[in-house]
Every structure is written in C-alpha cells, then in structure tokens.
Amino acid sequence: MKELITLICALTFALSSFATGQSGDIIYIDGEEWTLLGKPIEDKEKLSKSLADALPKNLLAITSNWSGYTAYWSVANERLNLDSIICQLYNDETREAYRHRIPYSEMQRIFKKYYEGNTVVASWLSGKMRAAKGDVLLYERMGFSRNYEYEKILTIKNGRLKKQQLFHNHLVSKGIVPDSLPDTKKLFRLGIENDPDFAELDKIFFHIDHVRLDSLGHMVDCNVNAEMWNDRYKLIIGKYCDKVKSTLLKIHPWQTYFINGEYVLKYKFGFAFMYKIRDKKK
C-alpha cells in the first residue's frame, strides 16, 4: 500500500509539473529578437535524445524548461538556422548557476547531417511555428499555450521559410468571462429538476468547446456536451445541451480577443460549468 501511495503521489506531481508553461527558444528575424514558442529540436526524436545525452550532468533543469536548454535560431537566406545552444549548469561548490554554451565540436557531432557549410539548417522541420513578442494576452499553464501582443506565424518546409504572417493580437471586448457566469440555474432555466428521468441526479457538468465569436463579442456557434456517469442519461441529455447552447448564443458580449486572425474567448479550449439540479440527498 505504501508503494502504491508513493507511486500515485509521484504521478500527481509529474502531471502537475508538465502542466507548467514552458519557456521557448530564441529566434532572430530581420535582426529582431523574438520568443520562439516551441522547441524544434524536440520534433526530431533522434536529435533530441542525442542532445540530451550530450548535456552536462550538472544541468539545471526547471519546471518551466524541462529540456534544460535554450536554443538560439535565426532566419537568413530563407533558411531556419540553429546558431547555438545554451544551458544552465550548477556548481555544487559555489552553489551558483552559470551559463554554458554547447561546444562547436559537440554541435558538429550531434547535427552532422544537417550542416550546410558552417551552419546547422533545420531541414528536419516542416510545419508552422509561432514567434512572439510584447505583452502576454492569454496564458494557460500547459506547454506553449499562450498568446502575445505580436506574433509571427512561420511556415517552414524542410528548414526553408516559405511564408511568414504578422498579427497584432489584442482585446476586442471586455465582456463576460466564462468563469464569472451568474447563477447557472437561474440563467439557463433548464427545468431538469422536474424531469423524472433525472430524479436520481443532483448535478450535471456541461462542457463548452469549439466556440466561435464575431468581432462584436457575440457567440455564433459552439459545441455543448454533458458529463454523465450513466449511458442511459447520455441518450436523453441532448435536448438540455441544446437549451444551454441556445442560451449561450443569446448572451453578449463575451470577453473577446483577436488572436492570429480569429476572435476567441479568454479560454481558447473552452470552459465548463456545474448545473445544480437539487441538493444532494442524504
């Protein structure tokens, strides 16, 4: 039993730790420094492992940077170049942290097949990356799930920059925040308490996601689902989900942000609320 409790505690700590926002790499675009919201080296498992094995044993890894390093990149001649890798090391004697740059010889060994001349080109990488600067507008405690005042969306193919888009993100409306909804029973008036099919339930959790907003802070569409512990209830809860959706679409304005070309809620991945049917039976 003791071992089981220890394992559960360890797993709980690990999950909560990984929920911490991660610090990004640094990238220079047209001479300007931006935060790169991602770790491109981690996209290639073999490279990631080779680099991890090469990092000094006295590496100072923190919850906001599990990889233990910060890579420095630049865009030049339409290429995404890896310029250097810096990590924090800890001196046990002085009890101080200090910066350490991965030696050129190690860079040559790890990234040997990606060198073009004297430069490491991220030819293993294809897809979209976000570079950011300015104030943080939206923040969620997981990975790189945050948005800044200015963001560039970089489209990369085999290490070549194919397209970049600049967005000025901002707050559009100071309207209603999902976690400040008034009394949900009064707001939605679902009448579930009078439905004999739900006589055994005291509360239901509704989950709202895939929210679409317009420039005025009106919700134009969303998905509503209910968390039910019994499959029988799942078959008959649909009409109440429809009622919740109908009410949500009538509420306005919501607190709305313009983020990378879209209008979004403060909670981009959706939100949830509890609908209390009745006091819990004793």
Q: What is the pLDDT of residues 84-112, one digit of tens each?
A: 999 989 888 888 888 999 999 999 999 99
Q: What is the per-residue pLDDT across 36-65, written as a single tens digit (0 to 9) for each?
A: 999 999 999 999 999 999 999 888 878 888
Token pair listed for 40: 């491109």
Asked if the model's pLDDT at residue 233 lies above 60, the reply is: yes
Confidence class of residue 150 from pLDDT cuts 50, 70 and 90?
A: very high
Per-residue model confidence (pLDDT) at position 230:
65
Q: Please count the other Cβ atoms lying within 10 Å of the Cβ belonging to residue 49.
A: 11
Rounded distance between C-alpha atoms, residue 269 and residue 141, angstroms: 12
Q: Which residue has the higher pLDDT, 95 or 115?
A: 115
Beta-bridge partners for 90: 97
Asked if the model's pLDDT at residue 166 lies above 80, the reply is: yes
Rounded distance between C-alpha atoms, residue 43 and residue 125, angstroms: 7
Helix (H, G, I), strand (E, B) or coil at 234: helix
Mean pLDDT comparison of 6-15, 192-201, 245-254, highest-scoring range: 245-254
Q: Are 252 and 175 in contact (CB under 8 A)?
A: yes
Q: Which residue has the higher pLDDT, 238 or 142?
A: 238
Q: Which residue has the higher pLDDT, 20 or 28?
A: 28
Confidence class of residue 229 from pLDDT cuts 50, 70 and 90?
A: low
Between β-strands 69-76 and 25-29, what pairing exists: parallel, antiparallel or unpaired?
A: parallel
Q: Which residue has the higher pLDDT, 219 or 1?
A: 219
Asked if the model's pLDDT at residue 10 lies above 60, the reply is: no
Does the reported pTM lie above 0.85? no
Confidence class of residue 209 from pLDDT cuts 50, 70 and 90?
A: very high
Per-residue model confidence (pLDDT) at position 198:
83
Per-residue model confidence (pLDDT) at position 18:
44
Q: Count helices and strands (H / E) in the chain.
A: 6, 16
